[in-house]
Each structure stands twice: as structure tokens, then as C-alpha cells.
Amino acid sequence: MGSKYINRICTWCLKLGLISILAACQNLPSQQGRSIETHITADTPSSLAYANASLVSEHKGLSGLYPLDDGHEAFAARIALVRAAEHSLDVQYYIWRNDTSGQLLFHELVLAAQRGVHVRLLLDDNNTVGLDNILKALNQEPNIEIRLFNPFMHRHWRALSYMTDFARLNRRMHNKSITADNQATILGGRNIGDEYFDMGKGTLFVDLDILAIGPIVNQVSNNFDRYWNSASSYPLNGIVHPRHIKLQASMPIFKHRSFNHLRANSYDNAYNRDNFANRLLDGSLDYQWAHLILVSDNPDKALPKNRRKVEATQSDNNLLIEPDTEQPPVIKYQKASLTLNALAASVVEPQKDLLVITPYFVPTQTGLEYLQKLREEGVKIRILTNSLAATDVAAVHSGYSHYRTPLLKEGVEIYELKNQGFLKGPRDRAFTGNSESSLHAKTFTIDGQQLYIGSLNFDPRSARLNTEMGVVIQSPEMAQFMNQAINEALPYVTYQVKLTPQGKLEWTETNDKNQTKVYHHEPDTTFWQRVWVKMLSLLPLESLL
């Protein structure tokens, strides 16, 4: 046998040995001894409870919501909520950037803990790269507990972990919420990061949250407990060893190169300008009152199928949140089911109009057939998603591109956001530069009667792999306002995709002078971008998108 063959065999043996070692080290720590915790009761006295009491009693059975469609105000609302907390903060996020907004909010959690607030922070571990030292320092605070959802045991070789534990690590927690004293909550589509709060010089995300008070808050708190105590949530110290901590929670926040003092000042100015904290605590926020239905996945959805069956035998609780005795059930939930099933059970079937706003639109064949059925019944359907120029995930665009022609043939209207579609208003260019915009909001309206806001994308990943949550808002006023606002903006911030008489795609742009321009390929893109998406569209990726 030649030496080159011996070298190949040795190389493969080394690779197999490395994989075996990784597999041996991949075992997750035991959950034995982990505490099972629940949120505080809604009648616990607090400043937020006092501020909300008369408002909630005046609107019995309804929840108050305040839309957060402006990035600066969305950040100010989070700071105000953390500062208003007196007993507890339950915080759950998919992405938490180690940038200016992320570090400022970490610092606020530390200050809250130091004044006696019990902080529970649950982060999906897929996006905590580079955060281990800060998380360890925060976790040393007496009143801060951190858990990681579906964690990576290899902190420096995460990609290799997929080789030995892909079935689990491919499933992520996409939920986003922050709740103070079980009295007020913010939930929706935003992660924590400068780009989600309209700050930075890269791509900025157009997003949507709500701040809510009333019955919905206790339901969100119950939902958080289920995730916090789930089989996929691991205390930080079992994953990231606390030894060699050089940072203190009061120190690390402002000593990272990604922190920008000018942006911090801009955030501070926005907080003071909005006067959000005073409005939150004196009850003067302009809440809209409606019946809200919380829609949330079972956290067991994030378990591989073999483990999911084991966990299912340990509990027969098929209802995520028990309804209040005075209210109808407000959670639609089936164990290990798709969010879309729960969502479908929570809304009325469209009879006249369906508006879908989603950054990632991959309807699959099942979704295509459903939309075709609605069109046959005469339902007007409008889809707003990202253009190729605006998307931050080209692979998803490749999956979406298959469906444009069949949808257009059925009479579905498709609009694609321009890469600067929502950046034409006045804004501080010192902090946004020539930033582009990308749609990140996930919402839809039905017949001008119901509105959904949450984390759910209309793609296979949201339906089958990631956990999702959101609220169905039964408010004709809000649904019709959303429809009107979108109708007014669509011609100027999007390209409308149409079919030519020959069956070819074309993109129509309207400027502020009502002049139109027609493109015969994806606007504002290069030849190589289009080639790359075309190549991706030939690969069997749809189930992963």
C-alpha cells in the first residue's frame, strides 16, 4: 500500500476520531435539580399595577395595546418597562446583539437586579456567539438568572456541533417578549440590536411590536414559565463554566468596541423626548382596547422527535395556559403542533380580504393551494415581502421566487419592499448614514376585522422547526388602520410584481410624482446576485428555509 493511501487513511481516522470526541462531549448536562419557577401573581402591588388598575377595570375582559412601529420609541419603551419594574422581569429573545442597544439593555437589567428585581433572561443559544463572558458576569448578580434554549455544548466550535446534534440544534426558539411585574409586556417581531431600533449604518429592519396591559399579560407570563421550565432550557452555569470570570456586571457593558457612545446619546435623547416612562406609569399612553388571543408553540416543538415523545409521556397538560374563569379560552394550542394550526383556529376564515406582511414568504405547496382556494372564493389577497435587493437572506428569496408566477396567475397581488422603502422620512443621518431597509415585521389582517402581530414568518422553518408566538387582535379599528396605512404606502415603498401578457415577470415602481417605471429583472440587483439566487433555487432547501 502506497504512502499516499496510508496518509489518506490516517487523515480520515483523525477526522472520525475528532467527530467521535465531539460526540462524546456533546452530551447536555442533567436537568436534575433545576428549579421550577413561576411568575409573580397579577395582584402583587406595584407602581405598574397601580397605573393599570383603573384602566383595566374600565375595559373588563379586554387588553390595552400600544403599537410600537417606530424603532426609537420601541427602544424607549423597553427601557421604560425595565426601569418601571419593581418585582420581576421575564425576558425572552431569539437574538440579543452585543452592540450599543444590547449593552444598554444589559446594563438596565443589572440596575434592575441591584434594586431587588428578580430578572429571568431566556436566550436562544444560536445567536449568543461572543456573549459568554458578559452572560457569565450578569449571571453572577444575585437577582439575575440566565438560561439558554437549545444550547451548544461546544462554545468555540459551534458549526461542528451540527455534525453530531443537527436534529436538535436546527430547531430554535424564535419568541420575543419582555414582561415587567406581570403587569405590562412587549411582544412582536423585534429582536434586540441596533438594526431593529432604527439605528446604525447597515441594513435597518422595518419592524412592529406592541406594548400591552390587561389579561393578555398573565397569559404571556404563563407562556414564559412554560419555556423557562421546558426540557430545552438549561441554566447558564451548566453550559458556560463560571470559572475565570474577569468581568463584573457593572463593568463589561461599555468596554467593547461595538459600543458607540454617539448612538447611546441618541437612544437617551429618544427616551427623554418620548417621555415614555412617565406615560407608562401615569396611565396616559393611548392604549387601544381589544380582545387579544395569544398564539404560541409548545416549547416541545424544539425537541427532536425522539425526545419529544419521551417528554410527552411526562406531562398530560395539553393546554399551555388555563383560561380565566370569566373569559373564554385565549390560547389555541396542541402539543407539538404547528403554530399555523393554532393560528388558523384563532382567526376567522377570510371572506373578502387578506393582507400578509412577512419578510420571508415561502408558502410551500400546501400554502399555495390554500391561497388558490381563497382566490377561487373571491378573496382579495395582497402579499408584502422583501425584494431581492432588500432581503437579508438570499436563500429564502430563492425559495419564494418559485411561487410568484403561480400566485400572480391566480390574481394574488405581490409587492416587494424597496431596499430604502421606509427610509424616506426625516431621520438623523448622523446615526443612520445611507442605511437600507429590510422588512422584518410579521403581521396580517383579515377582512378588516382581525390583526396578527408576532414572530411567525410564512415559511417552513416557522411552521415546522422554530417555536413562535404572537397575538391575534380582534379590533376592526386597528385592522382597518393597518390596511389604510399599507394601501397608502405600497405604491411608493414597493415594487409591484406583475405578469406580462407573455407570462414573464415585471416589477413596476411608482415615484412621488406618480410616474411609473417598469423593470424586467429584479430591481436594484446585480447580475451575479440574480445568478446566485437562481442557483440556490435549484437546491432542495425549502424544508430548511
User: Domain limits of the chain?
Assistant: 39-237+254-282, 338-544
207 is an active site residue: no
Q: Quick check: do 39-237+254-282 and 338-544 share a fold?
A: yes
Q: Which of 39, 99, 440, 459 is catalytic?
A: 440
Q: Which of 181, 194, 225, 274 is catalytic?
A: 181
Element (H, E) at 509: strand 505-510
What is the Cα–Cα distance from 226 to 322, expressed in whole angstroms? 12
The ranges of the chain with pLDDT < 50 are 20, 23-24, 309-338, 423-434
The pLDDT score that the predictor gives to residue 31 is 84
Residue 116 — φ and ψ, nearest 5°?
Answer: 105, 5
Question: In CATH terms, is domain 338-544 a member of 3.30.870.10?
Answer: yes
The pLDDT score that the predictor gives to residue 246 is 57
CATH for 39-237+254-282, options being 1.10.15.40, 1.10.490.10, 3.30.870.10, 3.30.460.10 = 3.30.870.10
What is the Cα–Cα distance from 93 to 100, expressed in whole angstroms? 17
Q: Which of 72, 87, 107, 174 is catalytic?
A: 174
What is the Cα–Cα distance from 65 to 443, expressed in whole angstroms? 15
494: its cell numbers = 414597493
**N- to C-terminal Cα distance for the chain?**
46
447 is an active site residue: yes
What is the Cα–Cα distance from 475 to 292, expressed in whole angstroms? 9
Q: Which of 207, 209, 442, 459 is catalytic?
A: 442
The pLDDT score that the predictor gives to residue 311 is 47
* pLDDT, tens digit, 9 for 90 and up, residues 140-187: 899 999 999 999 988 878 888 888 888 888 899 999 999 999 999 999
What is the Cα–Cα distance from 463 to 58, expressed in whole angstroms? 38
Dihedral over Cα of 421, 484, 476, 76: its sign:
positive
What is the Cα–Cα distance from 182 to 196, expressed in whole angstroms? 25
386-395 burial: b if 16+ Cβ within 10 Å, else e: bbbbbbbeeb
Residue 473 — φ and ψ, nearest 5°?
Answer: -105, 115
442 is an active site residue: yes
Tell me how far CA of residue 395 lies from CA of 42, 457, 507, 525, 539, in angstroms.
44, 15, 20, 15, 10
The pLDDT score that the predictor gives to residue 244 is 54
Residue 315's contacts (CB-CB under 8 Å, 6 or more residues apart) are none
Q: Which of 99, 125, 198, 447 is catalytic?
A: 447
Of the candidates 474, 113, 173, 447, the residue with the CA atom closest to the CA atom of residue 301: 173
Q: What angle do CA 388, 505, 354 make, to 5 degrees?
A: 75
428 is an active site residue: no
E strands, 217-328, are 233-235, 288-296
176 is an active site residue: yes
Q: Which of 87, 176, 301, 418 is catalytic?
A: 176
Dihedral over Cα of 134, 140, 142, 143: its sign:
positive
The SS3 of residue 187 is strand
* DSSP class per residue in 93-134: ES-B-SSHHHHHHHHHHHHHHHTT-EEEEEEEGGG-TT-HHH
The pLDDT score that the predictor gives to residue 54 is 94
What is the Cα–Cα distance from 58 to 303, expressed in whole angstroms? 42
